[in-house]
Amino acid sequence: MRVARTLPALTRAIAALRARRGRIALVPTMGALHEGHLSLVRLAQKRAERVIVSIFVNPTQFAPNEDFRSYPRTFAADLNALAAQHVDLVWAPAAETMYPEGFGTKIVPEGAALAGLEDAFRPHFFAGVATVVAKLLLQCAPDIALFGEKDYQQLKVITQLARDLNLKTRIVGAPIAREADGLARSSRNVYLTPDERKAAPTLYRALQACAAQIAAGQPLGAVLDEGRAAITRAGFALDYLEARHSATLEPIGSAQEGPIRLLVAARLGRTRLIDNVAV
């Protein structure tokens, strides 16, 4: 497994991968790798002959009051996990490589990025994500790039970005990897105290209960109100629990307007968790 940390090294490594032919997949990550990331790598290996994983904690997608400084960084362990998975290339640029002095371009997505979900609570987030992902896709020029449904709105924004900018890379979504008790795997789960960790699966259970009730024909508004109450009772500070059209993320009034995706974000102590399910 090669590790590139500068743009010239990346260019050389990608030329070597291209010389061996076959499709190239990119899996962008912020490191602190867990089973969710590795499931993306395995899916990438099914879809492409060569796999690149990028590791970059992107400062521009964090607001000043967010956890950029404390975000978990486990680079040595990440490299071991990726080598064990037979990844071909790791792209791990420094912040100065991605944003050198004089950097002055920002991609500000609209459409799915203005759905009133994550954007309502993290207004800076999708411009940071869109800009860094566009750079990663241009730097690596992969045939496909994989993103988790865990970050469902982000997957929609990136799909839209690739289409709108006529990027050659096909964006592929991957299912959510969960702990045995249902908690969606996340690099931020390490922030949870033992008590918070016990309460955390409530989020997924509430989503599942809402999805079952909606599928059984119960009225959307009442189901969501009960879901919101259950999440708050479990000790979360709720940012949102919403039913949206699964393709457009537009609000919907009844199950007939679906297919529905239920999306939630809530804070438990200092940890902000997000999750979503299909109905």
> Where does this chain bind ligand AMP (CB under 6 A)?
29-30, 36-37, 39-40, 147-148, 150-151, 174, 176-177, 184-187
| Orientation angle between helical segments 152-164 and 125-140, nearest 10 degrees | 50
Tokens of 42: 């395995």
Shortest spacing between CB 147 and ligand AMP, in angstroms: 4
Tokens of 131: 């800009």
Which residue, 53, 104, 102, is CA-closest to 81? Answer: 53
Select the residue whose beta carbon is closest to ligand AMP and give its number: 148
Q: For ligand AMP, give the closer residue by CB, 127 or 255.
A: 127
Is 34 an annotated catalytic residue? no
Shortest spacing between CB 219 and ligand AMP, in angstroms: 31
CA distance 243 to 264: 9
Integer-rounded Cα Rg, in Å, for the chain is 19
Shortest spacing between CB 27 and ligand AMP, in angstroms: 7
Q: For ligand AMP, give the closer residue by CB, 56 or 236.
A: 56
Tokens of 83: 């080598």
Q: For ligand AMP, give the closer residue by CB, 170 or 218.
A: 170
CA distance 279 to 211: 5
Q: String of b and e for 181-192 (b: at least 16 CB within 10 Å)?
A: ebbbbbbbbebb
Shortest spacing between CB 25 and ligand AMP, in angstroms: 12
Q: For ligand AMP, give the closer residue by CB, 29 or 213.
A: 29
Q: Which residue is catalytic, options 34, 37, 86, 245?
A: 37
Annotated catalytic residues are 37
